[in-house]
Chains A and B, each alone.
Chain A
Amino acid sequence: MSVSSQDLFVRRISNDIHVVAPRFHFLTGKTLERLHDGALLPFDFQLSIASGTKSNTVARAPERFLVSYDLWQERFSVVRLRDLRKSPLNLSAAAAEAWCVDNVVLPVSALPGANQLWARLEVRSVDQRTSAAPAGDAGISIISLVELFSRPPRPQQDHWSLESAAFHLAELTP
């Protein structure tokens, strides 16, 4: 599954690069049904920046998020696994999706200042039966997430890829 370049926008907040994908939704269909059934579902995100050409990746930030749906509040909650940072408890589906996207961050210092840049956001659902690290395992490493995104997704795995239009670091106002 892929989304066009018009759907990913890059912005700078202080010394960090964030992305926004207002038309991107991954809490849908059977995934949403499983969340409504009380499941805790992991999703792997990777934000990468290419410089000069689209294939020249110069920086990447992988993250795993765990999404669950409160049966009584009927709201979503998300935990960023790396540091157990948690979202507010009363998110709508769209707000939970946006919270995930907004919490994949790259430092500005990691990007070359002069070249043309492209941002790419990749998202994959995690098959808990085949995942090396269970959903609740906070010990998953960044290295293993990078390795995970270096392999193509499995056929049954939900995956999305969004690209931004070309930009220069100087165009982003802090």
Chain B
Amino acid sequence: MKFALLPVFAAAALWGQSIQSAEESPSWDPAGDLNVNSRYTVESISFLGQHHYKLSSSALEEMHRLIGAKLNTEALNGLAKRIRGELRAHEVTFKLDRGRDPGSVRVLLEVDKGSSSFDLSVPRFAYNSELGWTGIGEASTAIHDNVLTFDLVRDVDTLAERYAGIQARYDRLSMGSDRIRLGFEFDAYHEQYDPGTRLALDNSTLSSSLGAGLYRSRLNFEPSATFVLAKPLTITVGLSFEQLQPELSAARSESANAVVNTLRYHQRWEGSGATKQELDAGYSLRAATRIFGSDLGYTRHTVNVRYGYTHDHQSVEVALVTGIIYGHAPLFERFVLGNSTLLRGWNMYAVDPLGGNRLAYGSVTYGYHIMRVFYDAGSVWNQGQSPEAKQSAGIGISSGLGLFQKGAFLLAVAFPLRQSHMDPVLIAGMNF
């Protein structure tokens, strides 16, 4: 789900409203909202105690709709219920207070996180008619600022390998200040490979840049710390201790122990009228070195930028991803194109069954109401080779109001653009 940081949801939206004295209070029609304050205009909606919460774009838009309108108790109850679900809170209630102008009220939302909570969810699901289905089932429990998460994962979409397994994670959301968070993650995966990948491995030219052969399982332990440098800029630093068990039991396991750094920026702007802009940018570095006892040595850089512009019912989204790997990285680190999110319409094993160590990709999506039309172009290749650009286009529907279709259901048909045959690929899913 696409989240936007909500420091304080201030607002005015009272332009043109006449100043009214208490004696000139607007009339109240109890056949509508039964709260006598429903005759007053909502001046602002904010959270009690200056708390910062991440809400979906659609929840923020709902808040916007309520500001400047007459108080609607039922709509506010609906909003509180929605926020409760998004924040997984024990309870969300609201209070009213006088606004700055007579005849206006401020809405103050109060979030009760409760001492503990338990939640079951499916944070990601995708189906690709070429690749199969990918999904994550998640159980999480929160006790004060401590969050324990357990995931069952099946992924045939994001890496050159197909993997299934578990992810267990502990997060400490606050270390005296909400500007520092700690996380510890343990992953255990079992790998499977496409026949094309196995065939490509036999070709010594293609596999020469690989840092390890095929492995049957992968274990990862990853402690990390996230610092809020200056909102909305965050940096995550950590270590990843990855153990690869080779397919041949006689061979010894290999390790890929790396420093992990991610710099992330996310900002949302709301202009006058119905114009919104959103920028999400990140730089990620993974550097495996013998200092941490790694058998493999490589450095992986990734930059991704997404920008969205929405006006009324129309939206445009532009996405750019580039990546480069120096050294010999294992298969799970290599870049792929041709899945449900990158170069949609192509089959990743037809593009490059082993992935590559160079990546350049761009995408443009135009949306009108729930309709989406997109064009993807990019290339994945290996150092010393010439990049070969591939293109695809597609059309679909998305139920989401978010700029990046996250938090939404997406159903699309994508076509690879090539001179020979054109096989459509069906893509369906949510939160990807």
Contact = CB atoms under 8 A, between A and B. Distances in A.
Interface of A: 37-40, 66, 68-73, 77, 79, 81, 84, 86, 89, 129, 134-136, 138
Interface stretch (B28-36, B302-310, B381-389): B28-36
A108 B105 CA distance: 45
A136 B33 contact: yes
Nearest to B76: A38
B36 A89 contact: yes
B77 A38 contact: no
B34 A66 contact: yes
A39 B94 CA distance: 8
B22 interface: yes
B28 A38 contact: no
Contacts of A37: 95-97
Contact of B36 (A69, A135, A136, A138): A69
Contacts of A66: 34-35
B98 interface: yes
B102 interface: yes
A136 B74 contact: yes
B98 A79 contact: no
7 contacts: A38-B35, A40-B35, A66-B34, A66-B35, A77-B28, A89-B36, A134-B74
A68 B97 contact: no
Contact of A38 (B74, B95, B103): B95
Contacts of A89: 28, 36
Contact of B37 (A71, A81, A84): A71
* A70, A89, A129: most-surrounded residue (chain B CB, <10 A): A70
B102 A134 contact: no
Contacts of B102: 72
Q: Which secondary structure dominates where chain B touches chain A?
A: mixed
B96 A72 contact: no
B416 to A, nearest CB: 52
Contact of A68 (B34, B74, B103): B34
B82 to A, nearest CB: 16
Given A71-B97, A135-B34, A136-B35, 15 more contacts: A38-B35, A38-B95, A38-B97, A39-B35, A40-B35, A40-B73, A68-B37, A71-B105, A72-B22, A72-B103, A73-B25, A77-B36, A84-B30, A84-B34, A89-B28
B47 to A, nearest CB: 15
A71 B95 contact: no
Contacts of B74: 134, 136
A79 B28 CA distance: 12
Q: Which secondary structure dominates where chain A touches chain B?
A: loop
Contacts of B31: 84
Contacts of B37: 38, 68-71
Contacts of A84: 30-31, 34
A72 B105 CA distance: 9
B73 A72 contact: no
Nearest to A72: B22
* A39, A71, A72: most-surrounded residue (chain B CB, <10 A): A72
B40 interface: yes
A79 B37 CA distance: 13
Contacts of A69: 36-37
Nearest to B21: A72
Contacts of A38: 35, 37, 95-97, 105
Nearest to A66: B34
Nearest to A81: B34
Contacts of B22: 72-73
A135 B36 CA distance: 13
Contacts of A136: 33-35, 73-74
Contact of B34 (A70, A73, A79): A79
B95 A72 contact: no
A72 B34 contact: no
A71 to B, nearest CB: 5
Contacts of A72: 22, 25, 40, 98, 102-103
A30 to B, nearest CB: 13
A88 to B, nearest CB: 11
Interface in B54-99: 73-74, 77, 91, 95-98
A23 to B, nearest CB: 26
Contacts of A135: 34, 73
A93 to B, nearest CB: 14
B73 A70 contact: no
A37 B73 CA distance: 13
Nearest 3 CB-CB pairings of A with B: A38-B96, A37-B95, A77-B36
B77 A71 contact: no
B80 to A, nearest CB: 11
Contacts of B40: 71-72
Nearest to B95: A37
B281 to A, nearest CB: 41
A77 B95 CA distance: 17
A135 B30 CA distance: 13
Nearest to B77: A134
Nearest to B20: A72
Interface string B346-388: 0000000000000000000000000000000000000000000
A68 B30 CA distance: 11
A86 B30 contact: yes
Contact of B35 (A68, A81, A129, A138): A68
B96 A71 contact: yes
